[in-house]
Each structure stands twice: as structure tokens, then as C-alpha cells.
Amino acid sequence: MYDYLIVGAGLSGAIFAYEANKRGKKVKVIDKRDHIGGNIYCQSVEGINVHKYGAHIFHTSNKKVWEYVNQFAEFNNYINSPIANYQGHLYNLPFNMNTFYALWGTKTPQEVKDKIAEQTTHMQDVEPKNLEEQAIKLIGMDVYEKLIKGYTEKQWGRSATELPPFIIKRLPVRLTYDNNYFNDRYQGIPIGGYNVIIEKLLEGIEVELNTDFFADRENLEASATKIVFTGMIDQFFDYKFGELEYRSLRFEHEILDQENHQGNAVVNYTERD
């Protein structure tokens, strides 16, 4: 009998297993996939650590958290500074003075404030009914049309007028020339990939892959005093409270015979097609 059965060998499950094991608890980790790491799993492709399920950049302002993860891996100094490509025109992200200069030629924070006010005034007394109205109310038509609309619709597979407004509660606007996507003090990607961290966390712990919790739920639940479940919570309750709507992304990898294809680690193509 295990003290804990942890369902999911991603970061949350692995950290819980590590801490419980350190405290003398008997734990077992299972995962339905054929690898550990969950969505931060990395594959080596042509000597590059590729994040199979999309790029994950670790960032935090909590010094204790930063020191904790650094005991398992050394982090590089990667700073996420994406670029948006709209009809061949390039814009810095997140929205900052560089972005607004490229859009409008504005050079001062006050000019930007005036431009945004000009494009949002008609929406101030409107209660947004969908994401499109919410975005226009927050940032205006130019930014919405060029940098939000198409990209958001591609991610969700639905028109912005069909998406609820709460998806965009706020849009960060920086009135400085700062292309750093995150505001956190600490940021980076582990050298060698996230697998290095997960492997160290799970060292000496029983791990069983290719194991679907729901395919043998009764027996698995009986094998431990407590279950730590890190998967989809609506599935755990057999959807009796309803089914949550998850954004679903498909990742396609292409290897190019080029040393440097686009000049930046992240380029968002913000047109719908």
C-alpha cells in the first residue's frame, strides 16, 4: 500500500512525489504517456532541446522558488522577447513603446495614451458581450485587428465574436521601450531541458508509464491511501459537474537546413490564415 499515488509525471506531480519521498512517504507515480515530464517534456532534435508540447519559459519573482528549481538544474539567461508578424510587418511584444511606434509613429507615453483613448472612447460605456468587444474596449481597433484577432482565433478555432470576454480580462500596456515579455525578476530555461529537473525529482521513486488512471481506476485508487491527481479535473469527476472547455493546440515540427531562420526565438504570425 502506497501513501500516495500521484497521477501525472509532470512538474506538479514530480515535485509532490519528491517532497513526499523526502519525508519518508511511500509514493508511486503513474502517467498515461510513454515519458515523464508531462507538457514540459523535451526531445533532442539535431542537438536542440525541443519542447514537444510548446515552449515553456520558467519565470518567477519569488526568490525561494527560484532557488528551489536551481538545485535541480542550471538555468540559462533566456529572456522572452517575441515578435509579431502581421502581413510582413514586424511588431514587438508585449505591447510597449516599440510596438506603438511601429503602429502609429508615437514617440512618447502621452501620445500613446491619447491614441488609445481616441480608439476606445466609444466603448467606455459598453458592457462587452464577447472577446472582440472586450479587446477593442481595452486597447482599440488597430492593435486588436493586427495583433490580437487572428492569433486568438487560430488558437481557439473560433471567431473572436464567439469567445467570452473574460478570456481577456486585461491587456498589459507598457509605456516603456521594454520587449521583455515577463515582468518577473527571475527567468530562463534549464540547460539540458526540463527533463533534467524531472529526472532528478523522480530519482529513486517508482514510476509507471503507459498507465491510464481511468482504465483501471478502482484498483489504482485501492493501492494508495491518498491520490494526487494532476490531470483534467472535470475528467476526474467523470464530468458530473460539466465539461470544461480547454484550449487545444496542435504542434507541427519542421526541420530546416538553416542555422538561423527567423532571427528571433519566437515569432507570432497574427493573421488568421
Q: 53 lies in a domain?
A: yes
- Looking at residue 246, its pLDDT comes to 76
Q: Count Cβ atoms within 10 A of the Cβ of residue 71 and give its class: 0-12 exposed, 13-18 middle, 19 or more buried.
A: exposed
Residues 156 and 145 in one domain: yes
Residues 67 and 154 in one domain: no
Residues 30 and 106 in one domain: no
Residues 192 and 75 in one domain: yes
Q: 258 lies in a domain?
A: no
Model-level pTM? 0.87
> How many domains, in total, are found in the chain?
2
Q: 254 lies in a domain?
A: no
Q: 240 lies in a domain?
A: no
Whether the ω angle into residue 94 lies within 30 degrees of 0, i.e. cis, is: yes
Q: 244 lies in a domain?
A: no
Q: What pLDDT band is residue 5 in, cutting at 50, 70 and 90?
A: very high
pLDDT tens, residue by residue, 62-78: 999 999 999 999 999 99
pLDDT tens, residue by residue, 124-138: 899 999 999 999 999
- Looking at residue 46, its pLDDT comes to 87
For residue 223, what is the domain's CATH number? 3.40.50.720
Residues 27 and 114 in one domain: no
Q: 167 lies in a domain?
A: yes
CA distance 78 to 129: 38
- Looking at residue 53, its pLDDT comes to 92
Give the C-alpha distances (Å, rounded to integers) separating 268 from 94, 122, 175, 265, 271: 11, 29, 21, 10, 9
Q: 25 lies in a domain?
A: yes
Task: Name the percent of the chain lying above pLDDT 90.
Answer: 89
CA distance 76 to 265: 14
CA distance 266 to 151: 14
CA distance 88 to 258: 20
Looking at 6-10, 18-22, 230-234, 241-245, which range is the least confident one? Answer: 241-245
Residues 75 and 43 in one domain: yes
Residues 75 and 198 in one domain: yes
- Looking at residue 251, its pLDDT comes to 81
pLDDT tens, residue by residue, 148-205: 999 999 988 899 999 999 988 878 889 999 999 999 999 999 999 999 999 999 999 9
Give me 265's grid cell: 526565438
Task: Name the percent of the chain lying above pLDDT 70.
Answer: 100
pLDDT tens, residue by residue, 210-247: 999 999 999 999 999 999 999 999 999 999 999 997 76
Q: Quick one: how many helices (H) and strands (E) in the chain?
A: 10, 11
Mean pLDDT of the region 50-65: 96
Domain that holds residue 43: 2-80+185-231
Q: What pLDDT band is residue 37 in, cutting at 50, 70 and 90?
A: very high
152 CB-side CA count, 13 A? 21
- Orientation of helix 149-156 relative to helix 131-139, angle to 10°: 150
Q: 135 lies in a domain?
A: yes
DSSP-assigned letter for residue 159 = -
The amino acid occupying position 66 is W
Residues 149 and 216 in one domain: no
Q: What pLDDT band is residue 262 in, cutting at 50, 70 and 90?
A: very high
Residues 140 and 170 in one domain: yes
CA distance 236 to 210: 18
Mean pLDDT of the region 90-104: 97
Residues 87 and 76 in one domain: no
